[in-house]
């Protein structure tokens, strides 16, 4: 009886472990510009850090550990939210999910599946944005408070957040 109980507990433990692994990142939403715009407007009384990135962008990948460190420090603050907007292609969704697992991305991630309309939505975010990434835009109460074109250092990120939080 002890062996059966031990075996059952062992199987349940392994099942629980793997279910937790799968729970961490199993999918990311594919969204269009209008849905992202709506998400920004819905964040009331929040400093929203919106980072546009790609798994194939070296500066994007380089800055992500600092972004995750800051996100982990502030994620319990109800006045703070970080949203990572992947500009990878929709057909590369599985690669993005694997990247998220490997890099332990703790912020919310969405895949912006709207490449064909980039010339339409990029200027709506920032008229001076030429389409390069990484780009980080900070919103407070749905209004843009800061635009950063290019890689951000941890200090720069902390300074903008402290100023606006």
pLDDT per position as a tens digit, 87-140: 999 999 999 999 999 999 999 999 999 888 988 999 999 999 999 999 999 999
Distance from chain centroid for Cα 151 = 15
Q: What pLDDT digit, counting tens, does each position of 100-112 carry?
A: 999 999 999 999 9
Q: Is the pLDDT of residue 84 over 60?
A: yes
User: Structure tokens of 155?
Assistant: 């200090």
Rounded distance between C-alpha atoms, residue 134 and residue 103, angstroms: 17
Question: 137: number of CA atoms within 13 Å, CB side?
Answer: 19
Q: What pLDDT digit, counting tens, does each position of 20-77 carry?
A: 443 345 789 999 999 999 999 999 899 999 999 999 999 999 999 999 999 999 999 9
Q: Is the pLDDT of residue 6 over 70?
A: no
Q: Is the pLDDT of residue 15 over 90?
A: no
Helices marked H in the chain — which ranges? 2-24, 33-42, 58-74, 93-103, 118-125, 154-164
What pLDDT does residue 3 have?
Answer: 54
What pLDDT does residue 1 have?
Answer: 54
Give the percent of the chain with pLDDT over 90: 78
Give the percent of the chain with pLDDT over 70: 84
């Amino acid at each position: 009886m002890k062996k059966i109980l031990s075996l059952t507990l062992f199987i349940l433990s392994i099942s629980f472990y793997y279910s937790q692994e799968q729970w961490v990142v199993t999918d990311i939403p594919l969204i269009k510009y209008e849905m992202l715009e709506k998400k920004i407007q819905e964040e009331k009384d929040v400093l929203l850090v919106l980072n546009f990135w790609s798994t194939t962008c070296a500066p994007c990948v380089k800055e992500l550990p600092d972004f995750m460190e800051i996100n982990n420090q502030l994620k319990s603050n109800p006045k703070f939210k970080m949203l990572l907007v992947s500009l990878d292609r929709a057909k590369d969704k599985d690669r993005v999910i694997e990247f998220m697992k490997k890099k332990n991305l703790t912020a919310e991630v969405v895949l912006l599946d709207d490449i064909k309309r980039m010339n339409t939505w990029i200027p709506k975010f920032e008229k001076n944005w030429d389409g390069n990434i990484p780009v980080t835009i900070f919103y407070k109460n749905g209004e843009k408070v800061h635009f950063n074109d290019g890689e951000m250092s941890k200090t720069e990120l902390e300074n903008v957040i402290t100023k606006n939080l």
